[in-house]
Amino acid sequence: MDINTQNKVRVRFAPSPTGHFHIGGARVALNNFLFARHNNGKFILRIEDTDPERSKKEFEKEIYESLRWLGIKWDEGPVSFENDNQKVGEYGPYRQSERREIYKKYLQKLLDEKKAYWCYCTKEELEAQKNAMIADGLIPKYPGHCRNLTNPPLNKKPQTIRFVMPETKVEFKDLIRGKLVFDTTQFGDIVIAKDLESPLYNFAAVVDDFEMKITHVIRGEDHISNTPKQILLQRALGFPELIYAHLPLILNPDRSKLSKRFAEVSLLSYKEEGYLPEALINFLILLGWHPKDDKEIFSLEELIKEFDLNRVQKAGAIFNEEKLNWINSKYIKNLDLNELLIKVKPFFLKENIIASDDFILKILKIEKERMKTLKDIISLSKFFFELEDYNPKILIWKNGTLEKTKEILEKLYNTLQLLNESDFEKTMLFNKLTEIINLGNYSRGEVFWPLRVALSGRESSPDPTEIAEILGKEKSLERIKIAINKLK
Ligand code: GLU
Ligand code: ZN
């Protein structure tokens, strides 16, 4: 479905910088971004930092850094996609903390029109009102105590500004969930600001969506109960209604609430773990979105072309870590070795492993297929740099014996010792091993297995001829000797 509006599509991603930027936020941002691009619209980044205690600059920076890493480019925002020192867009400021004058104007308007009022109730009084309602068998809500005060009560300070909540049924059509109806009788007069300078989320968001000419609100299902409140605020302020789409919750494979390990880990930790941004994007969009055919790997360009909110499911989206790893490994396989080299180098650096590009390239050539993440190359290749101690028992192939294994390793040592350094190459080595097998009447496993373990110290590793080629003659012989000694 292409959105057929006269107005240009304008969507926003409106995170609060009150904690790490998570996978959930990235998913919402991505859906907005794709929707905007698909419809030739604009994607706006708005920082909802009205809570001065909880909002932190470092979290705001993390939002920018994460979106930049993912390649989710915003068109308008407090800073540009390219440059932190440059604002972008004509509807700014895009930080709510810098928009207090604007909110004040609209708060005053609601107060003047008696659609909002000052509440003087203290915390203790609110608590008492609540308990009284519970005692009367009612569902507690603010009982409207200060709604019709003609004069401010003596010796009392105004505490908050409350919205006169119309008691009605609010209906809207959600692009994902279809027609939804909310009964507002239980909402009570909600607090929309602490004072004229300090609006709360629902109010500030409504004002900004209007002022920034937002056409569609795409956000997580956790916000669905805010939508009727926001619609009523829009009506009270005389703003046009928006179109809504609420993305399904992200769940564990057993359909329980997404575990903290995924929900609360910062998005940038996926970078540190060696996920490719393209793979993560691909994974995130498949959370709840079904492409037309069974195709699973999409470039960003393809996603922009095919994106369609109509194909987002209502039911919770399952976060499947294995799928993420599978997608990531696909993207790794699709990289050519030089591209992969650039991407893995920081991981070697971080581990203080010194290796030449040539050497890393050789390793990548034989380990690429086994990599699920970029970081995997570190554990997969560790044995090239350093042979770890291992149990001599693992040198013995199936039901072989210690003596026979030793005999074979000695033969290997003696044969390979005669080769030139330049003969330490896969095919040549393979031929030599085949000779040993034929002469000694051994099975392939009897020869390849102990050699592989001797060279890598591991039960699972690439082919021994490939390892030997990378290690070179001297190191390979040294490791075979170590294995022989272990069997003594
Ligand atoms: N600041 C809100 C949040 O972080 C934005 C919700 C919305 O998109 O309206 O969840
Ligand atoms: Zn009150």
Atom of ligand 1 minimally distant from the CA of 14: 5
The bound ligand whose nearest atom lies closest to the alpha carbon of 122 is 2
Atom of ligand 1 minimally distant from the CA of 28: 8
State the pTM of this model. 0.92
Q: How many CA atoms lie within 13 A of 355 on its CB side?
A: 29
Q: How many CA atoms lie within 13 A of 362 on its CB side?
A: 16
Going by CA atoms, what residue is nearest to atom 2 of ligand 1? 15
Atom of ligand 1 minimally distant from the CA of 205: 9
User: In the prediction, which pLDDT does 2 show?
Assistant: 46
User: In the prediction, which pLDDT does 6 show?
Assistant: 56
The bound ligand whose nearest atom lies closest to the alpha carbon of 159 is 2
The identity of residue 60, as a single letter, is: E
The answer to whether 106 and 317 have CB atoms below 8 angstroms apart is no
User: In the prediction, which pLDDT does 196 show?
Assistant: 98
Residues 6+ apart with CB under 8 A from 1: 308, 309, 310
The answer to whether 128 and 110 have CB atoms below 8 angstroms apart is no
- Pairing of β 178-183 and β 169-174: antiparallel
**Strands of 196-291, DSSP E:** 198-199, 216-220, 243-247, 250-251
User: What end-to-end distance do the CA atoms of the chain give, in Å?
Assistant: 73
Cα distances (Å, whole numbers) of residue 474 to 113, 132, 424:
88, 86, 10
Residue 205 Cβ < 6 Å to ligand 1: yes
Residue reference for tokens 């008691």: 167
Residue 219 Cβ < 6 Å to ligand 1: yes
**Which DSSP category does 388 fall into?**
P
Pocket test for ligand 1, best of 50, 66, 201, 242 (most atoms within 8 A of CB): 201
How many residues are listed for the chain in this entry?
A: 488
Residue 14 Cβ < 6 Å to ligand 1: yes
Pocket test for ligand 1, best of 209, 223, 233, 249 (most atoms within 8 A of CB): 223
Residue 63 Cβ < 6 Å to ligand 1: no
Q: What is the mean pLDDT of each run of 10 residues along the chain (488 residues)?
A: 64 97 97 97 98 97 98 98 96 97 98 98 96 95 95 94 98 97 97 97 98 98 97 98 96 92 93 97 90 86 92 92 97 98 97 95 96 98 96 94 96 96 96 96 96 96 96 97 96
Q: Is 297 exposed, middle or buried (0-12, 13-18, 19+ CB in 10 A)?
A: middle
Residue 16 Cβ < 6 Å to ligand 1: yes
User: In the prediction, which pLDDT does 4 show?
Assistant: 46
Alpha helices in 287-422 (DSSP H): 300-306, 321-333, 337-350, 357-367, 376-385, 402-417
The answer to whether 455 and 479 have CB atoms below 8 angstroms apart is yes
Closest CA to 416 of 400, 444, 396, 436: 436
- Ion ligand 2 neighbours (CB, 5 A) are 119, 121, 145-146
Helix then strand count (H, E) for the chain reads 18, 12
Residues 6+ apart with CB under 8 A from 445: 397, 398
User: In the prediction, which pLDDT does 221 show?
Assistant: 95
- Pairing of β 116-119 and β 198-199: unpaired
Pocket test for ligand 1, best of 16, 66, 206 (most atoms within 8 A of CB): 16
Cα of 121 from ligand 2 centre, angstroms: 4
**Which DSSP category does 51 fall into?**
-
User: In the prediction, which pLDDT does 159 show?
Assistant: 97
Structure tokens at 63: 């939002």
Atom of ligand 1 minimally distant from the CA of 48: 1
260 catalytic per annotation? yes
Residue/partner pairs of 79-83 with CB below 8 Å, 24 or more apart: none
DSSP line for 407-471: HHHHHHHHHHHTS-GGG-SHHHHHHHHHHHHHHHT--HHHHHHHHHHHHHSSSS-S-HHHHHHHH
Catalytic residue from among 157, 260, 295, 488 = 260
